[in-house]
Structure 1
Amino acid sequence: MDDALTEPEIVALTADHMQAAAGIRRVALWQRLPWLPDVHTPEEEEQYWRMHLLPNCTILGAAMGNRLVGVIAYGDNWIEQLYVLPGFQGMGIGSSLLGCAKEEMNEIRLWTFKRNAGARSFYERHGFTAEEETDGADNEEREPDVLYHWRRLPELTLRLQPSGG
């Protein structure tokens, strides 16, 4: 079996990738949460990625062959976006992308919608804990959400203490 076909390549994304990144978010989000209001056009979402996320975040993509199948945007102890195309979920792609962010930050916060059981379970499996829940009044979709938090545990150093006599 060829590992190149099963293991995604994690790559830094550029402005040329922002339309595809925004598209992954759109497809993944609306398939999981079809009841959410569609508050932005695809063009507005691409502009958000290009004008807000790209200059302020590290944006990585997971590529399988020549196809972008997952994206993450993070920085300043926040994950702003993390999405994997539905047909590629459950293959470790989200975990790989999240691992890149965890390598660079000692503490991470992120928001996810309360009804997004799949995302909540994913983050909890990766050591995140729910810190706050809202009624959604402060987000564009007016959908209740949850603030998650992860903190790197201090390295535990085992020291052998000489027994005193």
Structure 2
Amino acid sequence: MRQEIAQILPGLRRFAYSLTGSMADADDVLQSTVERLLTREMPEDADIGPWAFRVCRNVWIDECRARKVRREAAERPELSEGQVVQGEQETSSAIELNRVETAMARLPEDQRQIIALVALQGFSYGEVAEILAIRKGTVMSRLARARAALSELLKAASPETLP
């Protein structure tokens, strides 16, 4: 199992980055994912790849929830003794890559997840449906909407207009 995990690590890291938008955060999500993969028992009927990506997605959802709690604590100083330090988001040196990343970030999370799994990771629609626990038809429609929206964002945005 460790060898299988090692083989899918680059793909998991790219997926974590597509979710977080930050290499530092992606590495944290990846580390937590690998820890869970190694310490928890894999379901008997699961394939390691889709299961690992599902675990990664769940780790990210947990992190988002934790961030929300920390943000609320920071807004209410009576609940927190310290300040919440916000991380910096790394920027890409390639202008085109930066444009795509920014456009991807503007997509709704459900579309961003699907386009990352299909276009970046190369999973089939069926595998994505299994990872996200949705129907294959839903994967196909969200992917079509994500591609169209991404195309429009990239057409409308020049490097100067994207932050």
TM-score, normalised to structure 2's length? 0.26
Greater strand share, 1 or 2?
A: 1
User: Higher relative contact order by CA 8 Å / sep ≥ 6: 1 or 2?
Assistant: 2
Greater helix share, 1 or 2?
A: 2
Which protein is bigger by CA-based radius of gyration?
A: 1
